[in-house]
Amino acid sequence: MREQQKVAEFVEKHDLEAPPAFRLLDLVSELGEVARNAAESTEYGQKPTQPSLEPDEVGDVAFALFAVADSLAIDVSDALDQSLSKYTARIDEGDSPASGE
């Protein structure tokens, strides 16, 4: 995936290498910021509107995910293909794609 390579090059260029465990903590932190955007924009579920997310925060999540994957030598494109195959099999069996692991 081109985006994963861009992140890897950015990390290397700016000497931002970190162990996978730190990368994972960063990913969870960035996802928390997106969740905060959603919670605040819907007044913590009291306002039934579409959540308002900051695009740069979503970008931070993508960056962090690609960095985690790269630090573990996981190709995100291959991983996505595996997930789609798994979800297709679940749908074919009459299950929801989100059920199970």
* Token pair recorded at residue 42: 């819907």
Place 45 in a pLDDT band, splitting at 50, 70 and 90.
confident
- Which range has highest mean pLDDT (45-54, 73-82, 86-95)? 73-82
Q: Using one digit for the tens of pLDDT, what is the confidence trace for 66-82?
A: 999 999 999 999 999 99
In angstroms, the CA 42 to CA 34 distance is 13
Q: Tell me the domain boundaries of the chain.
A: 2-74
Helices (H), the chain: 2-13, 20-41, 55-71, 76-92
Q: What is the DSSP letter of 43?
A: T
CATH superfamily of 2-74: MazG-like (1.10.287.1080)
Place 15 in a pLDDT band, splitting at 50, 70 and 90.
very high
